[in-house]
Chains A and B, each alone.
Chain A
Amino acid sequence: MAYKNFILVCAGTGCESSKAIEIYDSLIREAEAQGVKNDVQVVKTGCFGFCEKGPIVKVMPSESFYVEVKPEDAKEIIAEQVVKGREVKRLLYKKDEKTADTVKIEDIEFYQKQFRVVLRNCGVINPENIDEYIARDGYSGLERALFKMKPADVVSELKASGLRGRGGAGFPTWLKWDLTIKAPGEVKYVVCNADEGDPGAYMNRSTIEGDPHSLIEAMTICGYTIGASTGYIYIRAEYPLAIERLKIAIKQAKEYGLLGPKILGSDFSFDLDIRLGAGAFVCGEETALLQSLEGKRGMPMPKPPFPAVQGLWKKPTVINNVETFVNVAVIMTKGADWYSKIGTEKSKGTKTFALTGKIANSGLVEVPMGTKLRDIIFDIGGGIKGGRKFKGVQTGGPSGGIITAESLDEPITYESLTALGSMMGSGGMIIMDEDDCVVDIAKFYMAFCVDESCGKCAPCRIGTSQMHDLLEKITTGNGTEDDLLKLEKIGKAMTKASLCMLGGSAANPTLSTIKHFREEYLEHIRDHKCRSGKCKDLVVYSIDPVKCIGCGLCARKCPVPCIAGEKKQAHVIDRSRCVKCGECFKACKFGAVVKN
């Protein structure tokens, strides 16, 4: 039976939460109701990346790219596209809502500068169907490794590819594997770090949801290479869909003889198990992750010994993150030659980023290493939402630093981001505009670190908490210039003396904002002023009696309520009760509500 159309429905977590499953069900129901169920196959896929415009539905072969689809659109999509062979114009992506000109998928700027290696199958295949993965050369890398290569050849291939760890620090992957091979011991383990914990980062989740077999294939290749027969995927329990898809994929791989005893008839056997993390950010640190995997409290351990020598249950262990492994699958399929042509000299391949914050096109993107920040934020990301002014971008999550407009033309590499006082991290990118307060943001990240510090190591446990209190003091207008010095003093000691990178980098957002926006800190301290209005203790709302026409809109919007006034008379805000939510300021059409 040949289908005339294929409808791909994005079933990543983002689109799912916007009723993607209802859309999927409705499309199937409509196809049946309209008598065309044999002409169309409806498929749930992984993330298309363009989360801003989700839920996404793509129809093949016409490549019709429908955005912000609702379940009730299913009837029309089936009726027009499948029955009559016409696109549903109103659902197609439009660059500009006013002109109503539709744009073909290859012309959507969100995708134009992207290069999808890790995400190559996301939004393309049904992640719950192994055949679709195999149809796109899936498991051919494993076959190649098992039957055409010795373990040392795989290492050479990785070395030639230039792949470096995508978890943050950029350690050469081949070297990690090679150290594990050379570490004495019969029993070795492969562990995947899928404990993605940075606020706003969801690259790993989407990758697993959209293409779980890539991970399984790569971990199996790793097992073959280092001589391990067991692998564990440590994934946070907050990723139920990814876990479910992994389970399905593992089951299918076993049924196909691609996992389990004597893989593809070879002498190599490998098994994979899923272990759920309870959502501690610190368990993304590899030694803490291994502790947790062993059933202990997730606390980082001193290195050396490195996991490559003494990892899980004190056995040599390769621990890589999801994106690193998925790159391995691609390299083994397409070859190191092909791969090493992507990226820069020292940073090969691509990098996925999750764009969030004040960006027009929030979503999941993948670009070659060396792409400029400006291209990611302004071309792919479509610039700042609402045409506000770009202020900075936080990369590397709570461990990274803020990168300002003057560095937008830096090509993204491991080295350049570190030089800018930030880091690659796992790939979260939070974009800030002029409405964001840097002190508030520094405080937000510090609060995150206070909660997520494992509590083992004094500099981090106490340092984060003291720094948070100092930031709190500044954002409430009680800070002094001496507090700035204290922040730098603790930040420096914490960075230097902490045992793991959580503490080692927790001061980065604060230190980098002090460096780039010292003036704003001083405004909070000296002038008790927050120019963005984010720091509520430093904001006072009042109503200009001359401008106020007494429409009463502000009073109706006020949630307290604390605005009073007769109709057509100037209104007054009772400051003692005002919670500074800013609703009145936003509501007033006459500029009568004043914020200062």
Chain B
Amino acid sequence: MVNAKINGIPVQVAEGTTILEAARKVEVKIPTLCANDDLEPWAACGICVVKNGKSPKLIRACCTPIDEGMDIVTNDAELVSTRKTVIELILSTHPDDCLACPRNQECELQRLAAEFGIREQPFPKKIRGTPIDTSTGSLILNPDKCIRCGRCVKVCQDMQNVWAIEFLGRGEKTRIAPAADVKLGEGPCIKCGQCSAHCPVGAIYENDQTAEVWEALLKTGDDAKTCVVQIAPAVRVALGEAFGCAPGTNLTKKIYTALRRLGFDAIFDTNFAADLTIMEEGTEFVKRFTNAATGKEGPLPLITSCCPAWVDYLEKYYGDMIPNFSTAKSPQQMMGAMIKTYYAGKTSLDPAKIYSVSIMPCTAKKYENGRDKTMYSSGQKDVDVTLTTRELARMIKQAGIDLLNLPESDPDSPMGPNTGAGVIFGATGGVMEAALRTAYTLITGEDLKDVNFTGVRGLSGIKEASIHIKGTEVRVAVAHQMGNIAQVLQMVKKAKAEGKDVPWHFIEVMACRGGCIGGGGQPYGCTDEVRKMRIRGIYDADEASEYRCSHHNPLIKQIYAEFLEKPGSHKAHELLHTHYESKPLYLK
């Protein structure tokens, strides 16, 4: 342990703790702009400068470990004026159109400028006028807003191992841009949106499609369509943050009401489709697992495919492992297909007259809904538009809906009621746990006594577990945060190359840290603390559920009985499965 003082307040922290972290322990806030709890300090902005004792030198709190006996001063006239000048310098390269900025009121630079009482900008503006990049359809890059804090580069390279964003140019010409200076959509970007979730300003943000949805909702007469919406598991425990709630606050039933008030005609829950995914993917796994000796049902390990950013990553970086990928569509796309076939049939609606919207914690889902022709399995686009949690929050605010005080309501039948297995899709390990709950029954014909697989829960980057199903060991691995995937796949490849048994039979992969609750479309300010609270919200919902296994969902049984025949049927394959192809990292 290290003993030191911060502004005269004694603090005791573990060795290696930075001055910034130590200061937090004693309720001292040191302003920062580039520092982020998810990332190693990059030390770019120069805002977090502090002093040690009488030394005139300014040191950076974000990257300097606090040493025994340090006497840190975080605020004096010189520090404040230095920080203020640095902020003024940064502002000299940043446009002033805050009112029209997607990050208005949620911008870290704006907040800092307000806190430091910036009332004039002494230095002339130097803004390059770089064109906006909309090429991915999921994310928008506005280089002129960029303050070169480096967070997105570090996220994309260090956390996600995607390398789609890079620093280009030098000195004042330094800019953050798609690697190789292509358009973002022409390079390795997997649309996970973690860059947008970490950007402190409005330089990278989700493609806001609320206007399209408003137009559909408000349309009247012959052009009007039946507007159907689904909300993903992870949205319900995070949306509240945009309205001042603590992370993890579960607002499911208020959100249903809000969606109704926004004008949606039918409210479905993606949790239901998650149950459906488990039926299909669980069956796929059982087939592969029980036929492992012949391999005729496909190779092991089976790898989950619910995460569209992960699908994109695999197609770009691991095309050779496509046969291991589950062909089951993601819950969003299963729901989309069911809305425009099963639901349309039941309600005698023309699928072409249905407008299908999904609310997702994710920017890559915007890409997924048009990924290939299997996303049009109903003959129409199965999901017309995907909105992120952040966009939904905006719509609710625009509509003047007092979310927190709304009465609660239930989703619509038949694709609303769902199980705890569906809701845990929102957290890392959830898909695996849900699949195991059902796979056990599919293999043994019996139900589990304890459905909790705690070994696959939590924030550790790679989790392993094994369960014994009637004397057979099933080994599983769960990886989240794209940068952790390579290690898992390399081990699979190595075992295969050496002719050894594969290390795992079933692997769950989610591109974002913590799984979907940490998605790139979730409210800003996500840290591990926030992730833990959101995960808590998810598992609380699971425990409170009447049914905790997908195969127990009575409406799932009904949909197979009425429509899909059985998991893995021809019809299920037509509507609920997809395929993949190897893609180049760069289009050019």
A450-B171, A466-B126, A469-B124 known; A458-B44 Cβ under 8 A: yes
Complex partner residue of A486 from B45, B64, B82, B123, CB under 8 angstroms: B123
A492 touches B90 (CB 8 A): no
Report chain B residues within 8 Å CB of A457: 43-46
Interface residues of A in 278-293 (CB under 8 A from B): 280
B65 within 8 A of A: yes
A451-B171, A455-B174, A499-B43 known; A490-B85 Cβ under 8 A: yes
Q: How far is the CA of A157 from the CA of B436 in the complex (A)?
A: 67
Task: Specify the chain A residue showing the minimal Cβ separation from B58.
Answer: A496
A464-B171, A492-B82 known; A456-B150 Cβ under 8 A: yes
Q: How far is the CA of A451 from the CA of B43 in the complex (A)?
A: 20
B89 touches A455 (CB 8 A): no
Question: How many interface contacts (CB-CB < 8 Å) are there between A and B?
Answer: 110
B49 touches A497 (CB 8 A): yes
Q: How far is the CA of A461 from the CA of B174 in the complex (A)?
A: 8
Looking at B47, B58, B170, which has the most chain A CB atoms within 10 Å of its CB? Answer: B170
A454 touches B82 (CB 8 A): no
B427 within 8 A of A: no
> Contact string, A457-479, partner B, CB cutoff 8 A, digits 1/0?
11101111110010000000000
Q: How far is the CA of A370 from the CA of B459 in the complex (A)?
A: 60
- The smallest C-beta distance from B156 to any residue of chain A, in angstroms, reads 14
Task: Specify the chain B residue showing the minimal Cβ separation from A297.
Answer: B167
Complex partner residue of A465 from B58, B86, B169, B171, CB under 8 angstroms: B171
A144 within 8 A of B: no
A452 touches B89 (CB 8 A): no
B253 within 8 A of A: no
A498 within 8 A of B: yes
> Contact string, A536-579, partner B, CB cutoff 8 A, digits 1/0?
00000000000000000000000000000000000000000000
Q: How far is the CA of A340 from the CA of B46 in the complex (A)?
A: 41
- The smallest C-beta distance from B241 to any residue of chain A, in angstroms, reads 29
Q: How far is the CA of A297 from the CA of B150 in the complex (A)?
A: 13
B17 within 8 A of A: no
B148 touches A458 (CB 8 A): yes
Q: How far is the CA of A497 from the CA of B124 in the complex (A)?
A: 21
B295 within 8 A of A: no
Q: How far is the CA of A493 from the CA of B83 in the complex (A)?
A: 8
Complex partner residue of B89 from A280, A301, A302, A459, CB under 8 angstroms: A459
Q: How far is the CA of A492 from the CA of B83 in the complex (A)?
A: 11
- The smallest C-beta distance from B523 to any residue of chain A, in angstroms, reads 27
A465-B126, A466-B126, A497-B86 known; A454-B92 Cβ under 8 A: no
A458 touches B90 (CB 8 A): yes
Q: How far is the CA of A496 from the CA of B89 in the complex (A)?
A: 14
Task: Specify the chain B residue showing the minimal Cβ separation from A449.
Answer: B171
Q: How far is the CA of A280 from the CA of B169 in the complex (A)?
A: 12
> Contact string, B115-154, partner A, CB cutoff 8 A, digits 1/0?
0000000111010000000000000000000011010000
Q: How far is the CA of A457 from the CA of B172 in the complex (A)?
A: 10
Q: How far is the CA of A496 from the CA of B45 in the complex (A)?
A: 13
Complex partner residue of A302 from B60, B93, B122, B150, CB under 8 angstroms: B60
B170 touches A459 (CB 8 A): no
Report chain A residues within 8 Å CB of B172: 450, 453, 455, 461-462, 464-465
Q: How far is the CA of A376 from the CA of B85 in the complex (A)?
A: 40
B173 within 8 A of A: yes
A388 within 8 A of B: no
Complex partner residue of B171 from A453, A459, A499, CB under 8 angstroms: A453
B171 touches A461 (CB 8 A): yes
- The smallest C-beta distance from A556 to any residue of chain B, in angstroms, reads 42
Complex partner residue of A497 from B58, B64, B126, B171, CB under 8 angstroms: B58
B46 touches A497 (CB 8 A): yes
A280-B170, A302-B43 known; A458-B123 Cβ under 8 A: no
- The smallest C-beta distance from A483 to any residue of chain B, in angstroms, reads 10
B43 touches A453 (CB 8 A): no
Report chain A residues within 8 Å CB of B44: 456-458, 499
A466-B92, A466-B123, A469-B124 known; A458-B174 Cβ under 8 A: no
A61 within 8 A of B: no
> Contact string, B80-96, partner A, CB cutoff 8 A, digits 1/0?
01110110011011000
Q: How far is the CA of A145 from the CA of B216 in the complex (A)?
A: 82
A297-B167, A497-B49, A497-B82 known; A462-B92 Cβ under 8 A: yes
A458 touches B147 (CB 8 A): yes
> Contact string, A350-376, partner B, CB cutoff 8 A, digits 1/0?
000000000000000000000000000
B171 touches A463 (CB 8 A): no
- The smallest C-beta distance from A279 to any residue of chain B, in angstroms, reads 11
Q: How far is the CA of A498 from the CA of B78 in the complex (A)?
A: 15
B46 touches A498 (CB 8 A): yes
Q: How far is the CA of A450 from the CA of B171 in the complex (A)?
A: 6
A489 within 8 A of B: yes
Complex partner residue of A462 from B58, B89, B170, CB under 8 angstroms: B89
- The smallest C-beta distance from B109 to any residue of chain A, in angstroms, reads 11
Looking at A301, A450, A459, A464, which has the most chain B CB atoms within 10 Å of its CB? Answer: A459
Q: How far is the CA of A449 from the CA of B124 in the complex (A)?
A: 19
- The smallest C-beta distance from A484 to any residue of chain B, in angstroms, reads 13
Q: How far is the CA of A498 from the CA of B82 in the complex (A)?
A: 11
A265 within 8 A of B: no
B322 within 8 A of A: no
Task: Specify the chain B residue showing the minimal Cβ separation from A454.
Answer: B170
B533 within 8 A of A: no
Task: Specify the chain A residue showing the minimal Cβ separation from B172.
Answer: A465
A302 touches B41 (CB 8 A): yes
B63 within 8 A of A: yes
Report chain A residues within 8 Å CB of B86: 458-459, 493, 497
Task: Specify the chain A residue showing the minimal Cβ separation from B175.
Answer: A455
Report chain A residues within 8 Å CB of B81: 493
A452-B171, A453-B171 known; A302-B63 Cβ under 8 A: yes
Report chain B residues within 8 Å CB of A453: 170-172, 174
Task: Specify the chain B residue showing the minimal Cβ separation from A469.
Answer: B124
Task: Specify the chain A residue showing the minimal Cβ separation from B41.
Answer: A302
Looking at B49, B62, B123, B147, which has the most chain A CB atoms within 10 Å of its CB? Answer: B123
Task: Specify the chain B residue showing the minimal Cβ separation from A489.
Answer: B85
Chain A residues close to B by CB (< 8 Å): 280, 297, 299, 301-302, 304, 449-459, 461-466, 469, 486, 489-490, 492-493, 496-499
Q: Beyond the given A455-B148, A493-B82, could you list 8 further A-B residue pairs with CB under 8 A, ordered by the A residue number?
A: A453-B171, A454-B171, A456-B150, A459-B46, A459-B89, A461-B148, A466-B124, A489-B122
**Among all A-B residue pairs, the 3 with the closest Cβ atoms:** A455-B174, A302-B63, A493-B85
Chain B residues close to A by CB (< 8 Å): 41-47, 49, 58, 60, 62-65, 78, 81-83, 85-86, 89-90, 92-93, 122-124, 126, 147-148, 150, 167, 169-174
Please list 23 pairs of residues, one from A and one from B, whose beta carbons are closer than 8 Å in the complex, sorted by A's number.
A302-B62, A450-B172, A454-B171, A455-B167, A455-B169, A455-B172, A456-B148, A456-B174, A457-B45, A457-B46, A458-B47, A458-B90, A461-B171, A461-B174, A462-B172, A464-B172, A489-B122, A490-B85, A490-B89, A493-B85, A496-B78, A496-B82, A499-B46
